[in-house]
Amino acid sequence: MSDQVIIFDTTLRDGEQALPASLNVREKLQIALMLERLGVDVIEAGFPVSSPGDFESVKLIAQEIKNARVCGLSRALEKDIDACGQALSVADAFRIHTFIATSDIHVGTKLRKSQDEVVEMAVKAIKHARKYTDDVEFSCEDAGRTHIDYLCRMVESAINAGATTVNIPDTVGYTIPSEFGGIIQNLYNRVPNIDKAVISVHCHNDLGLAVANSLAAVEHGARQIECTVNGIGERAGNCSLEEIAMTLQTRYAKLGLDTNIKSQEIHKASKLVSQLCNMPVQMNKAIVGANAFSHSSGIHQDGVLKGENTYEIMTPESVGINKNVLNLTSRSGRHVIKHRLGELGYGTDEYDLDNIYTSFLKLADKKGQVFDYDLEALLFFDQQKHEQAYYKLQYLHATSGQNIIPSATVTVMVGEEEVTEASTGNGPVDAAFNAIIKAIKGHDLDIVDFKLDSKGEGAGALAQVSVIVEYNGRRFNGIGLATDIVEAGVKSLIFVLNNTYLADQIDQQKQVKIAGV
């Protein structure tokens, strides 16, 4: 049996469907490209049949990704599988992942079919998917609560039908490690054709055991782990990619199992997913949390100073964490910024130096000193949407104070037209938002959430504002970054307006295609 564990990332599918607002096509591509650099073997890019936007994002990712296998999810239905095949057809090679529930509670309550009918549906779906690709994965949804006899039958039937990977999900995070490892062991002992497919696992974290269950599974023969960056996903989330990858790397002498993950890229991937998905990483999160390599106890600090391995089983550098160095000011030239980004692990193909440098100078003039975390924040935010921005902020002035009615004046580029409007509100941010809505002629949207956070340390930290708006029955997320809270808020609204504009364009293109059929 191979000692290589395949890492199947579902951040863009299982992770994305749990977000308060959907990612747009460009954001999904950004994450996919990062996953490719991270060394992920398979990227589950989405659920193509679910929406025109998801179809287009899966298609774009399949077209752009070259060093990982791109995968699309489908139910055991021909229309779903056809949507996957069509979206993924632009890739040289791809995977279709089809699934059906197998536990008694799902088969009887949700599907309302007999076990024989479910097996027949699974076999039919796999054979249909094989018309598009030789790489077909089949999942037994809620396998953790499926009777072992029926699970063995389903796995054997799936492999006979042509599935090259069979996934055993703990869909509701119900099992414990000894139990889940036993399921995998039983399958290897009882399914006669199991050597003809890769056995995969997809564990949820409802009891906090997703990583432990995945680890137990590979110890008993599974060779693919389905996971997400930062462990995001439905309910309590999924198996955390960074935790399982670093467990296998750190305990290689014990486990003898390896992955293709480039661990030095983990921190960057975590930050990108956290920022774009508007899901902060808890401070005590293993591997990527702010406290993961911090030491407060005097005894611990003394030990680390004498030898890092006294209280650290891995180094911060091994996951791409760099110390924040205070060495950048408005006097720093382009070559210094390029060099510093290189030291932080960013290649010149990942950013536009002119855009970054312009944003850096503006920030340096305001803050005086710029830290590494500031530079990374600029990389993640300020370069976004340059080529696709329909709405652009040109001017902002806001006033507020005691016994003063808050007011704001904004100038916004709406396509090629420059529009200036003023408004009042219950605060300067609200006033600025009202002025922008007037400038774009009353866009029908509802702001359902507004969050303020700081990026950095101290009084000079950058303000990050995240907003979620509801528009045409869908929710969109917008993020803004600035030293000024009002400016950050306005940028977040402009960001989200561009997301809604792009969504409208995709919907219109879809309608044109339908009308042309």
Token pair in block for residue 393: 């902020």
Closest CA to 244 of 232, 258, 254, 256: 258
Q: Give residue for tokens 């991937």.
A: 269
**Digit-coded pLDDT (tens) for 155-187:** 999 999 999 999 999 999 999 999 999 999 999
Domain 6-277 has CATH 3.30.420.10: no
**What is the residue extent of each domain of the chain?**
6-277, 334-381, 391-508
CATH of domain 391-508: 3.30.160.270
Residues in the chain: 517
- Residue 403, Ramachandran bin (φ over 0: left; ψ between -120 and 50: alpha; else beta): left
Q: Would you say residue 243 has pLDDT above 50?
A: yes
**pLDDT score recorded for residue 338:** 86
**Which of 74-88, 119-133, 355-369, 380-394 has the weakest average pLDDT?**
380-394
**pLDDT score recorded for residue 178:** 98
Strands 404-414 and 417-424: antiparallel
Residue type, 331: R
Q: Would you say residue 297 has pLDDT above 60?
A: no
CA distances from 91 to 53, 68, 313 (A): 18, 11, 40
Closest CA to 192 of 224, 225, 160, 145: 160
**Is-contact 360 378, C-beta < 8 A?**
yes
CA distance 329 to 346: 20
Which residues does residue 43 pair with via DSSP β-bridges, in sequence order? 9, 70
CA distance 368 to 357: 15
Q: Give residue for tokens 């002025």.
A: 435
**Is-contact 29 57, C-beta < 8 A?**
yes
* 396-410 burial: b if 16+ Cβ within 10 Å, else e: bebebeeeeebbbbb
* DSSP state at residue 21: S
> pLDDT class for 215, splitting at 50, 70, 90?
very high
**Digit-coded pLDDT (tens) for 407-447:** 999 999 998 899 999 999 999 999 999 999 899 886 778 88
Closest CA to 246 of 292, 182, 193: 292
